[in-house]
Amino acid sequence: MDEPLVRWDWIARNWDNGGPTSVKVLLENHIVMAFVPVVVGLLIAIPLGLACARYRWLYQPTVGIMNVVYSLPSLALFSILLSVTGLTQTTVIIPLTLFSLAVLIPAVVDGMQSVPDHVRQSAVAMGFQPMRRLTRVELPIAVPVVLAGLRVAAVSSISLVSVGALIGQGGLGYLFIDGWQRQFYTPIVVGIVLVVALALIADLVIIVAQRLLTPWARRRA
Amino acid sequence: MITFDGVTKRYADGTVAVDDLSLEVPNGAITVFVGPSGCGKTTSLRMINRMIDPTEGRILLDGKDVTTVDPATLRRGIGYVIQQAGLFPHRRIVDNIATVPFLLGWDKKKARDRAMELLERVGLDPKMARRYPFQLSGGQQQRVGVARALAADPPVLLMDEPFSAVDPIVRTSLQEELLRLQSELHKTIVFVTHDIDEAVKLGDTVAVLRVGGKLAQVAAPADLLSDPADDFVREFLGRDRGIRRLGFVPAKNLALDPAPEGVTPEGHGTFNPARDSLRAALDASLLSPDGLAVAVDDDGRVLGVVGQAALVGAARG
Ligand SMILES: Nc1ncnc2c1ncn2[C@@H]1O[C@H](COP(=O)(O)OP(=O)(O)OP(=O)(O)O)[C@@H](O)[C@H]1O
Ligand SMILES: [Mg+2]
């Protein structure tokens, strides 16, 4: 067999063939299913993380629950959800949101803890009211730590979406199943390259955002 | 004036941090709270701006019980400086200084102008304005901390060990700077330190606290050094009390003898009776081989000399 690893003509034909499994459509679905859980996760993690930072007794139970969720195989979660949300993107998005929470809640709590006590005290002493202190002092200072968590959440979300292919909603993950079933490597290689590229781009975007948002953060060599 | 009226603070775990403290802090002067670690200095200070509320007793600010004032409003009228400066790491120096004016709703430009003025006032280069706190040295950060506390021109300033995290040379210059500022601004300052030398150097009045939060003695620095109330205060004051007390006695009342033939400032210790203390005069005499301290005026002209016997006599009072 002198089958090449990558057949460029396959890529050219399948990049945008109008069908539901064209690479372009799969890529778009992949982005949506990876992106939504991280954004929704962040929106949930901020208030929940703040509550945990404020009421310490909440923290351990919350982290405990999140770790259990994190340890569940995604496939198991998909099967449970199938009976409720069916073979839709939602069935993939919900478990991934839970996974991202497991990373983001501790990140928000750690971020709040990264605010030095003397800074918090001096904010109080200057006459900041609690809400303003939170939004103008504590949250901005927590940003670098939260963004570090966001990088982990985004990259793992992008890689985990593929598993959804097992229920027909895996974005680029479809290419792995397709390639494996046909013993044809080109889709697999295309899938890997795109997933990795997506992860790198997401990571880079967050790094740039961090540089822009927190010029004050001490750069560590 | 700040009045502590039978103030006690008992923490939830039963620790009595401040025990029945009654004390008056006069306006326009520096009152220092000094004492060993854990004696309740920080707790006392924080009860003034309501970061902590007393368990018993009252604190009056110009006759008004502070617990009747909204905490945020009260705090915006009281400057606060702490050991690590507590600067906001995410804000530029100019905006750090303008914090309270911003909170008070000043126009942005006016607040920043005021911040720039203060930056210079505390001896910092205006170039620093656009930097972030991590780009400043510890001593510079402390100066910014002082500028920030002064930004809205509060009549009262609370300072909790503001200079204890910097090296001795920087500390000395910050202390002098504070005294210079105070001579222009006449704020009501409560200054907390565990360093008795700093206390006697800066305080118009020094309040010595002992562990358990009890007031041991309140006195002017010179009186504290000459008449400690008890063994605790005596021990806390440490060695060389007699010599250190002379630092508070002006040399201007010394009777000067005419300078003998051939006695010049060269080869002799000198002092300036118009501005130096008896301690400086004694030191000058100890530096001279013949024991004569040479008095000179601002222009270095010899006014006369004083011998060791006369100095010791003056030191006895
Ligand atoms: N939140 C708290 N709960 C219980 N005890 C406290 C609390 N804060 C302070 N204390 C105790 O109250 C006492 C006085 O504390 P405070 O911080 O006022 O001392 P200090 O004189 O400022 O000491 P230092 O020089 O070390 O700063 C100490 O015994 C301290 O352990
Ligand atoms: Mg203290």
Band (B174; pLDDT cuts 50, 70, 90): very high
> What was the pLDDT predicted at A193?
96
Residue A95 located in a structural domain: yes
Phi, psi dihedral angles at A85 (to 5 degrees)? -105, -5
> What was the pLDDT predicted at B240?
84
Band (B98; pLDDT cuts 50, 70, 90): very high
Residue A51 exposed, middle or buried by CB count within 10 Å (0-12, 13-18, 19+): middle
In this complex, is the C-beta atom of A131 within 8 Å of any C-beta atom belonging to chain B? no
- Ligand 1, atom nearest to B41 Cα: 21
Percent above pLDDT 90 for chain A = 77
Please name the member of B71, B82, B103 whose beta carbon is closest to the beta carbon of A122: B82
Whole-model pTM: value is 0.87
Token pair 């027909």: residue: A168
CA distance B186 to B13: 39
Architecture of domain B249-316: Roll (3.10)
Going from the Cα of B18 to the center of ligand 2, the distance in angstroms, rounded, reads: 12
Comparison of pLDDT for B265 and A192, the residue scoring more = A192
Residues on B contacting A at a C-beta cutoff of 8 Å: 49, 51, 71-76, 78, 80, 82-91, 99-100, 103, 132-134, 148, 158
CATH number of A79's domain: 1.10.3720.10
Going from the Cα of B228 to the center of ligand 1, the distance in angstroms, rounded, reads: 25
CA distance B221 to A137: 40
**All CATH 3.40.50.300 domain ranges in chain B, comma separated:** 2-245
Residue A22 located in a structural domain: yes
Strand partners, B271: B295
pLDDT digits (tens, 9 = 90+) for A98-118: 999 999 999 999 999 999 999
**All CATH 3.10.580.10 domain ranges in chain B, comma separated:** 249-316
Between chains, do A127 and B134 touch, taking CB under 8 Å as contact? no
Query: DSSP assignment of B179-204, as one string?
Result: HHHHHHH--EEEEEES-HHHHHHH-S
Beta-carbon count within 10 A of B76 CB: 21
Going from the Cα of B51 to the center of ligand 1, the distance in angstroms, rounded, reads: 13
Distance in angstroms between the alpha carbons of the first and the last residue of chain A: 51
Comparison of pLDDT for B146 and B316, the residue scoring more = B146
pLDDT digits (tens, 9 = 90+) for B57-77: 999 999 999 999 999 999 999
pLDDT digits (tens, 9 = 90+) for B28-58: 999 999 999 999 999 999 999 999 999 999 9
Band (B25; pLDDT cuts 50, 70, 90): very high
- With a cut of 60, say whether residue A1 has pLDDT above it: no
Contacts of A128 in chain B (CB under 8 A): 72, 103
In this complex, is the C-beta atom of A141 within 8 Å of any C-beta atom belonging to chain B? yes
Phi, psi dihedral angles at B192 (to 5 degrees)? -105, 135
CA distance A194 to A186: 12
**Contact B151/B115 with Cβ under 8 angstroms?**
yes
Chain A, nearest residue to B134 by Cα: A218
CA distance B81 to B100: 13
Buried b (16+ CB within 10 A) or exposed e, A112-128: beebeeebbbbbbbbbb
pLDDT digits (tens, 9 = 90+) for B291-316: 999 999 999 899 999 999 999 998 88
Residue A52 located in a structural domain: yes
Percent above pLDDT 90 for chain B = 89
Band (A172; pLDDT cuts 50, 70, 90): very high
CA distance B47 to A158: 52
- List C-alpha distances in Å: A196 to A189, A199, A201, A207, B239: 11, 5, 9, 16, 71
pLDDT digits (tens, 9 = 90+) for A56-102: 999 999 989 988 988 888 888 888 898 899 889 999 999 999 999 99
In chain A, the number of structural domains is 1
**Contact B205/B29 with Cβ under 8 angstroms?**
yes
In which domain, by residue range, is A13 found?
A: 8-216
Pocket of ligand 1 (CB under 6 A): B 11, 13, 15, 17, 37-43, 194
- With a cut of 80, say whether residue A219 has pLDDT above it: no
Architecture of domain B2-245: 3-Layer(aba) Sandwich (3.40)
Residue A15 located in a structural domain: yes
Residue A172 exposed, middle or buried by CB count within 10 Å (0-12, 13-18, 19+): buried
On average, the pLDDT of chain B sits at 94
Give the SS3 label for residue B230: coil
> What was the pLDDT predicted at B117?
96
Residue A71 located in a structural domain: yes
- Ligand 1, atom nearest to B36 Cα: 25
Residue A1 located in a structural domain: no
Band (A221; pLDDT cuts 50, 70, 90): very low
Pairing outcome for strands B302-306 and B205-210: unpaired
Chain A, nearest residue to B89 by Cα: A216
Residue A104 located in a structural domain: yes
> What was the pLDDT predicted at A176?
94
